[in-house]
Structure 1
Amino acid sequence: MKAVVAALLSTAAAVAAIPPGIPSGWEARSLLSSLFIAEPVDKGDYDRDLFPHWEAVEGNCNAREYVLRRDGNNVETGNDCYPTSGTWTSPFDGATHSVPSDVSIDHLVPLKNAWISGASQWTTSERKMFANDVEGPQLWAVTSRVNSDKGSSTPDEWRPPLSDIHCDYAAAWIVVKAAYGLTVSSAEHSALDEMLDSC
């Protein structure tokens, strides 16, 4: 009996944390129908520095440190807010990490995709808000390698290795695009619609 309880506790401890603000499948499908479909406009002028990121969001915590603290398990931090201990289970691939540098903070809707789907028209202040949004489901703590694999891909080009997260991934993507008035391509729209079938 003790072994069973220990196993259950171990499993529970490894559950990946997901960001706040992810709508239900039916809410996401309703939002998807309201998104404006347009092909992205890529003039080759995107620069990551156009989105000031990892800015202070709470006390000494920048957005990266805030998400590491928010989405980790038993996280302890120093005075500078950087984690000194804790574990992080990536919702994209299920891998658990105990070294903060092995964890990347993924911009769910990549900064480049935001740029070519509407953010090129924003002010720097608006892009800064987008890049450091810890209130909604735009920032995810994930395995660094998986985040690199994703790059600036949209759901029609890349999906998390774990299919169990596809519903939440699509719903989060949709609500971020809706909240910021960003467009979706026709292929992106179709992929999101398909992913919501897993909800």
Structure 2
Amino acid sequence: MITKTVTAVAGALLMLPLAAAPAGADAAPAAPLTLADAIDQIPSAPESREGYKRSSFKHWVDADGDRCNTRAEVLIAESRVTPTIEARCRVVAGEWYSYYDGVTVDTPGGLDIDHMVPLAEAWDSGASAWTAGRREAYANDLDTPISLVAVTARTNRSKADKDPAGWLPPLADAHCTYIAEWVGTKLRWQLAADDTERAALSDIAEGCGQQEVEYEPAP
């Protein structure tokens, strides 16, 4: 599991895949790409929400059997101080920076764990064809620091299942990091983008300078 700490929102080094790798294959990181080049590598396809149910993505599981489910693992990894953890891995205090809105939070009750690409958007973009096991792996992806992020509940609920054509973080300085992490997640899992989403990503990327990305496929 890769731990992560949310820091400054300017230029981030992300892990993105060029193409899906066979299950169990080792993927060597490739040379960094510009954000614009990474956007170009997202597969293009129309989106469809037909048949979507949130329950199709089993999430907040305890994959390693340590009594800490996915939500707790993210809270522990992202706390800027040593978090307070009670019995059965209940995280009760720490310090988290919600980079969507620039707010620091010291109690986890004010936080949601956001799927960078929401479950419904993932379904629309290709996950509808996945096995239940792969959807569970997606919904609990702790192996990269970009798939799941602790943010204020109000920003996560404002975002809902919107893509960047319909929602961006309220903190303008977060936009480039946000779309880079969005693109990183789409490429890591080989999810597609429709024309409207791609156009929005490209427009924002024009103001992001030489932000670089690095990619690695999901298992």
- Per the shorter chain, which TM-score range? 0.7 to 0.9
Matches within 5 A, 1:48-87: 48-58=54-64, 59-74=66-81, 75-87=83-95
Matches within 5 A, 1:29-108: 29-43=36-50, 45-58=51-64, 59-74=66-81, 75-108=83-116
- The one-letter amino acid of 2:192's match is T
User: In the alignment, does 2:177 pair up with 1:168?
Assistant: yes
Checking the alignment, whether the CA contact within 8 Å between 1:73 and 1:87 is kept in structure 2 is yes
Q: Distance in 2 between matches of 1:169 and 1:104?
A: 16
Q: Give aligned pairs, total.
A: 184
Residue 189 of structure 2, aligned match among 175, 180, 183: 180
Checking the alignment, whether the CA contact within 8 Å between 2:98 and 2:152 is kept in structure 1 is yes
Shift of 1:16: 4.6
Instruction: Point out which structure has higher relative CO (alpha carbons under 8 A, 6+ apart).
Output: 2
- The one-letter amino acid of 1:194's match is D
Q: Tell me which protein shows more helix as a share of its residues.
A: 1
Structure 2: unaligned runs, 5 residues or longer: 17-31, 209-219
Q: Distance in 1 between matches of 2:94 and 2:57?
A: 29
Structure 1: unaligned runs, 5 residues or longer: 1-14
Checking the alignment, whether the CA contact within 8 Å between 1:23 and 1:171 is kept in structure 2 is no
Q: Compare CA radii of gyration and give the structure with the larger one.
A: 1
Aligned residue number for residue 148 of structure 2: 139
Aligned residue number for residue 11 of structure 1: none
Aligned residue number for residue 22 of structure 1: 14
Identity of aligned residues (%): 33
Q: Distance in 2 between matches of 1:57 and 1:85?
A: 23
Checking the alignment, whether the CA contact within 8 Å between 2:49 and 2:120 is kept in structure 1 is no
Q: Distance in 2 between matches of 1:154 and 1:139?
A: 15
Checking the alignment, whether the CA contact within 8 Å between 1:22 and 1:168 is kept in structure 2 is no
Superposed CA offset, 1:149-199 (max 9, x none): 100000000000011111111111111111111110111111111222332
- The one-letter amino acid of 2:62's match is A
Q: Superposition RMSD on alpha carbons, in Å? A: 2.2
Aligned residue number for residue 7 of structure 1: none
Helix, strand or coil: the match of 2:89? coil
Aligned residue number for residue 121 of structure 2: 113
> Greater shift after overlay, 66-75 or 140-149?
66-75
Q: TM-score, normalised by structure 2?
A: 0.77
Helix, strand or coil: the match of 1:31? helix
Shift of 1:76: 2.3
Q: Distance in 1 between matches of 2:43 and 2:160?
A: 23
